[in-house]
Chain A
Amino acid sequence: MNFDYAFILNTLPAFLKAVGVTLQVGLIAIATSLLVALFNATILVLRTPYLQRLVGLYVELARNTPLLIQLFFVYFALPALGIKVSGFAAAIITMTFLGGAYLTEVLRAGVDAVPQAQLESGRSIGLSHGQLLRYVILPQAGILSLPSLFANFIFLLKETTVVSAVAVPEILYTTKSYIALYYKTYEMLAVLTLICVLLFLPLSLLLSRLERRLQHGQFGS
């Protein structure tokens, strides 16, 4: 059995389609996770009573259950309660549930990382709570969160492979289908690895460049 390059070429159109699905799931999930996280972070920063507790509970629950189990729960168990969503929707829901929690933590950490002296200085020149938040805390917290925010975006993109378990035709699903049909295990796993590298590495480089530029804007060189 030799490495079958011709076979790989034949599968490329299907893999291209699968990359589209992976990016779709990943990018939508990142956007919705970010929305959830911004909402939660606002609650945490404003120290809203009760809601603050609820956010803490959510973060713990989401971060301590594996994505695969959340996915199986939504896809296979919820129909018993009359809630039936497609595989794609189940993927977005669970990835948002998980991603939202991680990103909430990132934003919270960013706010916590603003030096205490900044707050005290702000108050000493007579800024109100709202002004303090708007002109002192958020701009700095945003920049401070960026590195781990971007790291979590990449993490979420990589997590998309898990959703192959509920028949969403992304890259891992496509790989496994081909292995199952034609037994080209080595070829297909090599293609999958290569796709991951080509997909995630440039994104990672792009984000770290963006991050440097934004930090340059904040702190100068």
Chain B
Amino acid sequence: MKRFLNIILLLALLLAGCAPASTNEPVTLNVFAAASLTDAFAEIGKNFEADNPNVTVTFNFAGSQALRTQIEEGAPADVFASANNKEMDALIAGSHVAKDSPQIFLSNQLVVILPASNPAGIDSLEDLANTGIKIVLAAEEVPVGKYSREALEKMNASFGADFKDKVSANVVSNEDNVKQVVAKVQLGEADAGIVYTSDAVAAPELKIVEIPVELNVIAKYPIAPLVDSANADLAQAFVDYVLSEAGQSVLEKWGFGPKP
């Protein structure tokens, strides 16, 4: 028993010795980011780590709606970057994010992607209504899924009244996040998918069909530090870096539009 107590004491001393924070103490920053940011934020994270050698940036990429739920259920996040305002607003309502802290850091647009071999012979937006083709969208809960349906609504107005119904009949799966849509098209399981322009940039082997501005939807991404972050200063520093010229140029490289 005595030896046991000694060990406990020793451990306690060791822990106490660690406690006073030195500037070089290793810190992990947990960044929860929309799946569409996967490639760009991975690069930004590396740059941020290079500038702050004691910091390790850990990412959790998923659909913004999934990340929002995880944060609400207590997941340890320092920064949240969402693909829409809706999920950010939900976190403000739940006091996880301070009311005035979110900042729009980029804009994004939609594009139709096709497998390189284009098995369904699609070369215009109207072709999405052809019978028998397989379209994969993100689920309606996912920001890009909601934007996709808004864009289809606009196309409906200009291509004819049953366009959206025909396209909806062609939808074979509602995926959980945008990267799953890309994957299903890359594998050739789907004939077409609607994703962000940035996702098409990250998968250059895919064919694309542009969506003209008047039929497109401009997505605006907000970013904010979390109220409960254990490293509030560092979280803010990461947000500032994303908004800085260096951060913006990385985002631009990956096909995102500038912050408005």
Partners in one complex: no
Binding site for A on B (CB under 8 A): none
